[in-house]
């Protein structure tokens, strides 16, 4: 199994204000990686840096054994819901077709194969019946499934999802998790920014705990320890007596 993503000594800032520094970790293929940490910890920024969308101060990011520019089309991204203009005049099918754009030439039109892939992807997320709907007329969960279908249609190696479970119903969440596990089992690597610590523990194989630096990285056991969580969430962590389950109190 090869290394899919290697981040080495990464430091990033916005207009001179440091978000984080000294981030080093690597992720093999076939991993579901959760990126967790409190608000403002730099989760979205880390995602954008790995995607090559930030100018980085120091360090390097290697993707699929090369620099990001060679790997671009193999990277799928699922945006945060409030980054999308829901009134945009595109249908569900149009959005999923965007996943095929990296496979087309600059001016080429979608072919039959592309349309088939789009149909397949829509079926996989159970949204084929909505293919002609305008995207503003979907529930939050349905919308996430459509964006996941777009990522599937892209036939990517690496998947990046920014808070895909924020404000969606449990059945969509379960379905998306099942699909992500399926992808993981095919050897893809999936990065998910996630808020809910209780679920993070069961959802992910590998965890990245951030708080303006890398607090902890590794398996659940390594990351879900009282000291690390307390450090990230500044003591707003309490342990239930009689169980070793940790509970985080946010806010």
Partner 1 sequence: MDSLYFFMDSLVKYGYLQNAMIAGVMVGTVCGFIGCFIILRGMALMGDAISHAVLPGVAIAYLMGFSIFIGAVITGVLTSLGIGYISQNSKLKDDTAIGLMFTAAFALGVVLITLQRGTGVDLWHILFGNVLAVSREDLWLIFFIGLLVVVSIFLFYKQILLSTFDPVMARAVGIPTNAIHYLMMLLLSLVTVASLKTVGIVLVVAMFIAPGATAYLLTERLPSMLGLSAVFGVFSAVTGVYLSFIYDVATGASIVLVASFLFALSFFLSPKQGILVQKYRLWKAGV
The phi, psi pair for 105, rounded to 5°, reads -70, 170
Strand 3-14 to strand 58-63: parallel, antiparallel, or no bridges (unpaired)? Answer: antiparallel
Q: Name which position in 29, 44, 91, 119 contacts Mg ion (CB under 5 A).
A: 44
| # chain residues binding ligand ATP, by CB under 6 A | 10
Q: Which is nearer to ligand ATP, 18 or 111 (CB)?
A: 18
3-state secondary structure of 109: coil
Instruction: Give CA 238 to chain center in angstroms.
Output: 28
Site for partner 1 (CB under 8 A): which residue of 83, 221, 234, 244? 83
Which lies closer to partner 1 via its Cβ, residue 4 or residue 228?
4
* Per-residue mark of binding to ligand ATP, 9-48 (x: CB under 6 A): -----x----x-----------------x-xxxxxxx---
Confirm or reject binding of residue 14 to partner 1 (CB under 8 A). no
2 binds, among partner 1, ligand ATP, Mg ion, none (CB under 5 to 8 A by kind): none
37 vs 99 by CB, closer to ligand ATP: 37
By the rule CB under 6 A, 55 interacts with ligand ATP: no
CB of 193 to ligand ATP, least distance (A): 6
Helix (H/G/I), strand (E/B), else coil: 85:
coil
For 84-145, the DSSP string reads S-TTSS-BHHHHHHHTTGGGS-SSPPP-HHHHHHHHHHHHHTT-GGGTTSBGGGS-HHHHHH
Is 106 a residue that touches partner 1 (CB under 8 A)?
A: yes
User: Does the protein bind Mg ion through residue 212 (CB under 5 A)?
Assistant: no
Backbone angles phi, psi at 189, to 5 degrees: -105, 135
Residue (44 or 91) nearer to Mg ion, CB:
44
The candidate with the shortest Cα–Cα distance to 189, out of 61, 2, 12, 4, is 4
């Amino acid at each position: 199994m090869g290394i899919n993503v290697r981040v080495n000594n990464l430091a990033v800032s916005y207009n001179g204000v440091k978000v984080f520094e000294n981030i080093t970790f690597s992720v093999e293929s076939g991993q579901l990686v959760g990126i967790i940490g409190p608000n403002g910890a730099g989760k979205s920024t880390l995602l954008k840096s790995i995607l090559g969308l930030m100018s980085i101060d120091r360090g390097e990011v290697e993707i699929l054994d090369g620099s990001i520019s060679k790997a671009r089309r193999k990277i799928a991204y699922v945006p945060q819901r409030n980054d999308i203009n829901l009134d945009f005049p595109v249908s569900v099918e149009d959005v999923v077709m965007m996943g095929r754009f990296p496979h087309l030439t600059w001016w080429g039109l979608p072919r039959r194969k592309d349309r088939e892939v789009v149909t397949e992807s829509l079926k996989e997320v159970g949204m084929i019946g909505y293919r002609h709907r305008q995207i503003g007329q979907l529930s939050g969960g349905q919308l996430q499934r459509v964006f996941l279908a777009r990522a599937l249609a892209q036939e990517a190696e690496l998947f990046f999802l920014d808070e895909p479970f924020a404000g969606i119903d449990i059945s969509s969440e379960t379905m998306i998790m099942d699909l992500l596990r399926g992808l993981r089992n095919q050897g893809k690597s999936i990065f998910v920014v996630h808020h809910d610590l209780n679920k993070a523990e069961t959802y992910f194989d590998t965890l990245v705990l951030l708080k303006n630096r890398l607090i902890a990285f590794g398996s659940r056991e390594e990351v879900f320890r009282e000291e690390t969580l307390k450090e990230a969430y500044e003591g707003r962590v309490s342990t239930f007596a009689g169980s070793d389950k940790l509970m985080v109190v946010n806010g």
